[in-house]
A and B are shown apart, each in its own frame.
Chain A
Amino acid sequence: MSNRDHILSAIKASQPALRPLPILDYSVVPVMADLLTSFAHFVNMVGGQVRLLDDLSMLNEELEAEQKQGRLLINRIGDPAKMDEVSQNAVALEAVDRAYIKGSIGVAENGAIWVNETAMGNRILPFICQELVILIEADKLVATMHDAYREIQINQEGFGVFIAGPSKTADIEQSLVIGAHGPVALTVLVLTHG
Chain B
Amino acid sequence: MSSQHASLAEKFNSDEARTNWHDQTLWWVRQKRDRAANALPEWEQLRQWASDIKDHTLSNLYNYLVEFEQNALSNGVKVHWASDAEEHNRIIHSIIQEAGIRKIVKSKSMLTEECHLNFYLQTKGIEVVDTDLGERIVQFREEAPSHIVLPAIHLKKEDVSDTFHEHLNTEKGNFDPQYLTHAARIHLREKFVSSELAITGVNFAVAETGGIVVCTNEGNADMGAHAARIHIACMGFEKIIPKAEHLGVFTRLLARSATGQPITTYTSHFHCPRPGQEMHIVLVDNGRSRQLGREDFRNSLKCIRCAACFNTCPVYRRSGGHSYHTAVAGPIGSILNPNLDMKANADLPFASTLCGSCTNVCPVKINIHEQLWKWRQVISAEGLTEPSKKIGMQLMAWILAKPAVYRMAGSTARWVLRNFPSVAKSKRWNPWYKQRELPDAPEESFQEWYKKRQRS
Contacts and interface: CB of A to CB of B under 8 A. Distances in A.
Nearest to B158: A173
B242 to A, nearest CB: 7
A19 B59 CA distance: 6
Interface residues of B, number: 92
Chain A interface residue number, banded: 35 or more
Given A111-B262, A112-B263, A127-B219, A15 B292 contact: yes
A130 to B, nearest CB: 10
B211 A28 contact: no
Given A128-B223, A145-B263, A175 B157 contact: yes
A30 interface: yes
Interface in A138-177: 144-146, 148-150, 153-155, 157-175, 177
B293 A14 contact: yes
Contacts of A158: 75, 270-274
Given A168-B265, A173-B177, A159 B274 contact: yes
A146 B152 CA distance: 33
A64 to B, nearest CB: 29
A102 to B, nearest CB: 17
Nearest to A124: B226
B88 to A, nearest CB: 10
A57 interface: no
A170 B42 CA distance: 28
A81 interface: no
Contacts of A123: 222, 226, 274
Interface in B58-78: 58-62, 65-66, 69, 75
B61 A15 contact: yes
A100 interface: no
Q: Is the interface of A mostly helix, strand, loop or mixed?
A: loop
Contact of A171 (B42, B150, B178, B292): B150
Nearest to A128: B223
B181 A177 contact: yes
Q: Is the interface of B mostly helix, strand, loop or mixed?
A: helix
Contacts of B217: 167-170, 180
A11 B292 contact: yes
A3 B247 contact: no
Contacts of A179: 181-182, 185
A110 to B, nearest CB: 4
Given A155-B75, A158-B274, A180 B218 contact: yes
A141 to B, nearest CB: 15
Contact of B264 (A2, A45, A153, A164): A164
Top 7 A-B residue pairs of the complex, sorted by shortest distance between their CB atoms? A182-B219, A158-B272, A14-B293, A110-B262, A180-B218, A171-B134, A124-B226
Interface of B: 25, 28-29, 41-42, 45, 48-49, 52-53, 55-56, 58-62, 65-66, 69, 75, 81-83, 87, 131-134, 137, 150-153, 155-157, 160, 177-178, 180-182, 185, 188-189, 192-193, 206, 209-211, 217-220, 222-223, 226-227, 237, 242, 244-245, 247-249, 251-252, 259, 261-274, 283, 285, 289-290, 292-293, 295, 298
18 contacts: A6-B83, A7-B83, A10-B290, A11-B237, A15-B59, A46-B262, A117-B274, A128-B223, A159-B226, A160-B268, A160-B269, A162-B266, A167-B217, A167-B219, A171-B134, A172-B137, A173-B177, A180-B218
